[in-house]
Amino acid sequence: MNVIFAAPILSENAARVITSAVRLDGVRLGVITQDPAEKLRDAVAQHWRVEDILNVDQLAWAVENVAARLGGVDVLFAAYEQLQVPIAMMRERFGIGGMGVEAAKNFRDKARMKDLFAEAGLPCARHARVAGDEDARTFAEQNGFPLVYKPTEGAGARSTFRVDNAEQLRDALRVAPPPAMLEEHILGEEHSFEGVCVDGKLVWHSLTQYSPTPLEVVRNQWIQWCIVLPREIDDPRYDDIRAAAARALEVLGMRTGLCHLEWFRRRDGSIAISEVAARPPGAQIMDLTSFAHDFDFDAAWVRLMILGTFDPPERKWSMGIAFLRGQGEGRVKAIHCVEDAAREVGSLVVASKLPSIGQTPMGGYEGEGYIIVRDRETAVVERALQTIINTIRVELG
């Protein structure tokens, strides 16, 4: 089987995908990337470097040449959010199976996505695509504040703003000009839902809870963000999101693949789907899922994309991650009270990456480091995360 994997750079995540792919029996792997071949850790059948992997002409040129050298291509895939539509275009151009352009656009264009949800009666935030300032003002007048302003093709809360009044809306329009999307700001708990589909059927799922919401973390640099994966993913309290997620994936057109769906539990108990991506989740959720089931979720996703198979694992553990964010201005100056936290929760820690002295903060919600904990009981994990973020302090200066 001839397979092509595309990635902008040969990052740690991309390296995992490549390693898993080359280990599959009978797979000949070609890699398209902006990085030179010298950065590859594993021997691959073909490597093709481009200047800009998001340039459709360059991507087509690379796919054509790698396919010719491999003797054809059976599977073409990518994990990077911004590549999903270009990759779908290449599949259609070269007659490769997998998600097509229209379905990829359903996942990529968040305004189009929510229009489809509304037509299908799926719960989601009130929203509107805004082409200019006048559209934005009209939506705000009709729906009131607070609102969320975001790109129609965003990812990872980039250029996403909570706007509480007309002045903040004007600022958002100036910083990230339309086209964009405005939607109601939902008050409640934010979660994610990771689901695997095979031949159009949802065959496996996982759940997380964010504490607090990513948008709140972005707005407050001092907050140390946490994610919890409860062990009790089949609890009846999640019946509503399981049903809604399965329907959402059907509406958007997922046949075989992995989704990362973000959703809210409103204060009145109802749910609202925020958005869905047809790719692996970020924020270390792949690692958390691997630890929760004692299996390699990255390798399982690669098998899914290449072979179209997935063996649902048993959920053995509750997991949690605390992201360590620097407080103050400048580079990482000191890390305080790590030993104190270790005395309290050290037996629960399964992985960690502490910030380095002199490290430059990235400014995102994932901060400069993290600590991952696990236990059979979700409540124990939740308490451990609170101990970590209330004890450890990363000082900038």
Residue 186 reports pLDDT greater than 80: yes
Helix (H, G, I), strand (E, B) or coil at 90: helix
User: Helix 84-94 and helix 101-108: axis angle, to 10°?
Assistant: 180
Q: Establish how many alpha carbons lie within 13 A of residue 68's alpha carbon, considering only the half-sphere containing its beta carbon.
A: 7
- Mean pLDDT value of segment 257-283: 95
Which residues, at least 6 apart from 154, have a Cβ–Cβ distance to it below 8 Å? 110, 160
Q: What is the pLDDT of residue 218?
A: 74
Q: pTM of the entire structure?
A: 0.90
Q: List, for residues 36-91, the tens digit of each pLDDT value.
A: 999 999 999 999 999 999 999 999 999 999 999 999 999 999 999 999 999 999 99
Q: How high is the pLDDT of residue 222?
A: 78
Domains of the chain plus CATH, in order, are 2-98 (3.40.50.20), 126-184 (3.30.1490.20), 188-396 (3.30.470.20)
Residue 154: band (very low, low, confident or very high) from pLDDT cuts 50, 70, 90: low
The confidence score (pLDDT) of residue 159 equals 66
Beta strands in the chain (DSSP E): 2-7, 28-33, 46-49, 75-78, 127-130, 147-150, 161-163, 180-184, 188-198, 201-211, 226-229, 257-266, 271-277, 318-324, 326-327, 332-336, 349-353, 369-375, 393-396
Reported confidence tier of residue 344, pLDDT bands at 50, 70, 90: very high
- Tens digits of residue pLDDT in 216-257: 877 777 788 999 999 999 999 999 999 999 999 999 999 999
The answer to whether residue 158 scores a pLDDT higher than 80 is no
- Amino acid, res. 40: L
**Predicted local distance difference test score (pLDDT) of residue 111:** 87
